[in-house]
Amino acid sequence: MKLGLWGASLLIASTQLSLLARSRRAWAATGLLLLPALIAWLVAAANDKVTPSGLSTMLGWHALLGVSVPLASLLLGVAVIAEEVEDRTITYLLLRPVPRASLLLGRLVPAVLWLWASCATGTALLVAAAATARGSDAGVSDGTRLPLLLAACAGVATYTALHAALGVWVKHAMIVGLAYSFTIEGFLSNLPGRNQSLTIQHHLRSLVAGTGDDAWQRIDGFGSTEWNPLFDAALVLALVVLVACIAGAWRLARRQFELPA
């Protein structure tokens, strides 16, 4: 009985999930997502004046959303297909009677699930570490922690899908992905004006702006930026995921991989 797209994807995904737990790359991505929590804990211990809500919004915005989410997604995203090519194990998958798109889907979904779990842990630890800050304010509210978690999860899904597709299309996906992360996501998203709406980062921040409370107003430029409406931002991110998956699957169905002996 030949497996269809969904059956093969599910089988690959279940195997891939157990392999991820043994993968150093996956744990490195988790480490990146936990890093803001560690920084929060160090800052809270070292500085008497920093407040819980100030620390969580500042690190959530700049460190988690701005650095950890794009880099952790890059690390696991390019590995979805490119790692199999680098390891020369893709032969075994390509020469089985399953739709090639299932290789992308079956390896992308576990990567995103892993990163979601890491994001949830990272956000919870960040908030917990920030709560130990000794400055006085109202504490970390749901209006701070839930938008942060939402944006982080949406971010890893979008970036991972994008980088997974990149891994199918280009040979040196990690280098291209790093260049994209720093030049487009890192630089363009912080420029004033409408250009920043070309970045995923802007739409993630729009999710925070659309669902967060006033605590986020203390971020520089937050109040003066024209954020996308919540629905539009979510729609753009969903479309990016969809287009990346379709483009990646289309290319994978046609691509030949020249693997050295």
Partner 1 sequence: MTQAESSAPVVRAKDLARFYGDVVGVCDLSVDIPRGTVGLLGPNGAGKSTFLKLLAGELQPSRGSIEVLGAPPFANPSVHARLGFCPQQDALWDDMTAVEFVEFLLRLSGRESLAARSAALAALERVQLVDAKDRRLGGFSKGMRQRVRIAQAIAHEPELVVLDEPLTGLDPLARHATLELFRQLAAEGASVLFSTHVLHEVEALTQDVVLLHKGRLLARGKIAAIRALLDRHPRRYSIRARDSRRLARELVGLEGVESVQLKTDGLLVVATRRPEILLEALPGIASAARAGIASFESRDEGLEAVFDYLMGGAP
Q: Which residues bind partner 1 (CB under 8 A)?
A: 1-3, 8, 11-12, 15, 19, 22-23, 87-89, 91-100, 253-254, 256-261
Minimum distance of partner 1 from residue 82's CB (angstroms): 14
Minimum distance of partner 1 from residue 261's CB (angstroms): 5
* 24 vs 49, beta carbon nearer partner 1: 24
Minimum distance of partner 1 from residue 118's CB (angstroms): 19
Helices 142-169 and 173-180 cross at an angle (nearest 10°) of 140
* 102 vs 197, beta carbon nearer partner 1: 102
Query: Distance between CA 43 and CA 47 in Å, rounded?
Result: 6
Query: Distance between CA 159 and CA 240 in Å, rounded?
Result: 9
Nearest CA-CA partner of 87 in 68, 107, 101: 107
Count of CB atoms situated within 10 Å of the CB of 126 = 31
Q: What is the DSSP letter of 89?
A: -
* 218 vs 255, beta carbon nearer partner 1: 255
Determine the Cα angle at 64 with ends 61 and 67, to 5°: 100
Minimum distance of partner 1 from residue 156's CB (angstroms): 23
* 30 vs 199, beta carbon nearer partner 1: 30
Show the tokens assigned to 193: 């004006």
